[in-house]
Each structure stands twice: as C-alpha cells, then as structure tokens.
A = this chain, B = another copy of it.
Amino acid sequence: MTKILQRNLYREVADRIGELIEHGELSPGERISEKQLCDRFGVSRTPLREALKVLATEGLIELLPNRGARVVQLTFKKVKDTYDLMAALEGLSGELACEYISDAEISAIRKLHDTMLEHYRNRDLLPYFKVNRQIHESILAAANNDVLQETYSNLNQRVKRVRYSKKMTERYWSQAVKDHENMMAALEKRDGALLGQILRDHLCNKIEVATLAGVINPDYDKSIANG
C-alpha cells in the first residue's frame, strides 16, 4: 500500500477510507482506530480526523461522542430507502436530459446501448454492468444539473458495497434490457415524461433489493453483510 504523500490530505484520506469501506476491508460496525489508520496512511491525526468528519457527513461512517467512529451498518431498510431515492433521481435525470440533450449525445448513448445489447447476447455480465452504468451516467450528465449529479453520486457511494455483487437471474436481466430499449426510444423521441417514468420504474434497483432480501436475513432492520 503506497503511502499518501501530499496535497488536500484530508480529501485524499477520506477517499482512501471510502475505498476501504467499499472493499470490505473495514467491516460495518467495526470501530475505526485513528492511530491504526494514521500509521497505515502515514498521516497525522489532524487530517485523518477531518476526513472522518467528512465521511460522517457523507453518511459512510458514524461518529459516537468520545467513542470514536464506526462504519455504518447497512440495514435492509437503509438500502431500500437509498434505492427509492436514487430511482427518483434517475427519473428526474431522464426528464431533464430530454430537455437539454444534443443529437450527438443521443447517438453516443445509442452506441453504448448497442454495445450493451451485444454484451447481453454474449451474457458477459461484467462488461454489461460497466456499459449499463455508463449509460445511466451519460443520461445523468445530459441532465445538466450539478446538484443532482453530486447527490446521486453520494447516495451511490453509500450502497456501493452491496451493488454489482449480485448475480442476475435470466428473467430480471431480460426485463432490464427491455426497460433499456424503452428508455432508448423515449430518449430519441426526447419524451422526458416517459423516460422519467421508465427510469423511476426501472427494475435494476428493485431487483437488487429483492435479491438482497432473498440472500440476507429478511429482518427489516437487520444489518446486511458486504458483497
């Protein structure tokens, strides 16, 4: 692990800790030892503690008065709440995108879409996920709303550790592809209301939640393990 050397130390540290959480190297509920992280990153406590405060604001960890920090336990309800919100934001991004998107941007997304279909036909899950994400990000970017993008990005970060780790069932996968066909059509017609509706109803998120519900302790507020 390369030590951190310079510049905007607190932000750098915050990102690195975020990665540790995402990859499960810091377990949910686990006490975060300041000293341990300081040694790991070769940084003093000042920027590290600033990073912890920022991460708490971003919802990745929680601070207990006089008792340090711990990684947030993702409960089923928290994940569901976050996904509900993300679905609404995707819907908005669709509406806005149709207002502002250029022909060039549409054809770029069309290319991504066709590539994704190719991956689907070959059942290449990882490449499929990657292009899928690019499509959603492109629409988000076309929405031309920085606050929206920032907010979505933050929410996504919170649930990253339980995303992209589930296997699709064939049925859900084909439904998701159908959704994308409809999305593409709505986008090319620049039908914002329709695209928004499709994105809000887009099953991806709900699939994952459903999958989680099957995989994990179905208890509503019980913590769930990392992927």
Contact = CB atoms under 8 A, between A and B. Distances in A.
Interface of A: 7-8, 10, 46, 49-50, 53-54, 57-59, 65, 78, 81-82, 84-85, 88-89, 91-92, 96, 145-148, 150-151, 155
Given A10-B53, A57-B57, A84 B46 contact: no
Given A57-B57, A65-B7, A85 B50 contact: no
Contact of A57 (B58, B89, B147): B58
Nearest to A89: B88
Contacts of A78: 146-147
Complex copy number for this chain: 2
B148 A85 contact: yes
A150 B81 CA distance: 11
Contact of A92 (B7, B84, B151): B84
A115 to B, nearest CB: 29
A225 B147 CA distance: 20
A106 to B, nearest CB: 21
A92 B82 CA distance: 12
Contacts of A59: 147, 150
Contacts of A58: 57
Contacts of A10: 53
Nearest to A92: B88
Contacts of A96: 84
Contacts of A145: 81, 84-85
